Amino acid sequence: MNLAKSYLYFIVTALLTISCKDTAKKVESPITNVDTPIDSTKIKNDSIVTKEDEEFELTEENAIDFFYKYEQTLEANKVKITTNLGSFTVELYENVPYHRANFIYLTRKGYFDYTQFHRVVKNFIIQGGNSDDRKTGKKRNEIGRYLLPPDTRKGHKHHRGTISMPSSEMDNPHMLASPYEFFIVVTDPGSYHLDDEYTPFGRVIEGMDIVDKINNQPVGEGDWPMQNIYITKAEVVK
């Protein structure tokens, strides 16, 4: 009897041992260790976003430092502006660094594309960079909210063909510039009463006849052209 019990005990123990081994081979945990470090440089098109991938936004606090560094990387100083009435090219002054850098930055971001010459004052200026299209407001929000300090003591005057930057319409005792808009003087020989208030940052070097053509368009209330004058493309050129 004791021999039979010993034999039965041996058989049960062997079966249990085999069963445990099979289970260990088949069970694989679907859970990964959440504390395991992930090398983000090896991940593409994943939900993990590094700081470098985040959208950069300009603010009052970072704009000056950003444009100071950005201007030091620039080699180009010309921008071609194409409108539905023709095109012209402006050359930007190198000794007005913030305004030059701002204009090239916005051009490369595609901000000016499909904005308008929204203000035309006969024999005085044409003003561009705004629009009643909601897409323009959206682009401004994505780029950021900031103003630029005036830079009026570099020896540049508001001669005919000068491109300059208007001041913000906000509460603005220091005449800080509105970075998204610009105006071009058409007065012959110039509008020099603007010299101490606004910052000239370039001049038209080709296509002044197109600037005059824009200035000659019929306007309505608020100097807004009767027919929309679109900037179809702004591009940095050599």
Amino acid (one-letter) located at 70: Y
User: Is residue 174 in a domain?
Assistant: yes
CATH of the domain at 109: 2.40.100.10
User: Is residue 57 in a domain?
Assistant: no
User: Is residue 42 in a domain?
Assistant: no
Looking at residue 132, what is its pLDDT? 87
User: Is residue 3 in a domain?
Assistant: no
Question: How many distinct structural domains can be found in the chain?
Answer: 1
Give the whole-angstrom CA distance, residue 168 versus residue 218. 26
User: Is residue 17 in a domain?
Assistant: no
* Residue span of the structural domain in which 184 resides: 77-237
Looking at residue 168, what is its pLDDT? 73
Name the helix (H) or strand (E) containing 203: strand 199-206
Residues shown for the chain: 238
**pLDDT tens by residue, the chain, 238 residues:** 444 444 444 444 443 343 434 333 333 333 233 332 323 223 233 333 334 435 799 999 999 999 999 999 999 999 999 999 999 999 999 999 999 999 999 999 999 999 999 999 999 999 999 998 999 999 999 999 999 999 999 999 999 999 999 987 666 677 788 899 999 999 999 999 999 999 999 999 999 999 999 999 999 999 999 999 999 999 999 8
User: Is residue 98 in a domain?
Assistant: yes
Q: Are 86 and 213 in contact (CB under 8 A)?
A: yes
Give the whole-angstrom CA distance, residue 6 versus residue 191. 115
Residue 142: HSE in the Cβ half-sphere, 13 Å Cα cutoff = 12
Buried b (16+ CB within 10 A) or exposed e, 73-103: eeeebbbbbbbebebbbbebbeebbbbbbbb
Q: Are 159 and 190 in contact (CB under 8 A)?
A: yes
| Global confidence as pTM | 0.76
Looking at residue 170, what is its pLDDT? 63
Using alpha carbons, select from 77, 113, 114 the residue that is nearest to residue 205: 77
Looking at residue 25, what is its pLDDT? 35
Looking at residue 54, what is its pLDDT? 52
Give the whole-angstrom CA distance, residue 55 versus residue 53. 6
Name the helix (H) or strand (E) containing 25: helix 2-26
User: Is residue 161 in a domain?
Assistant: yes
User: Is residue 12 in a domain?
Assistant: no
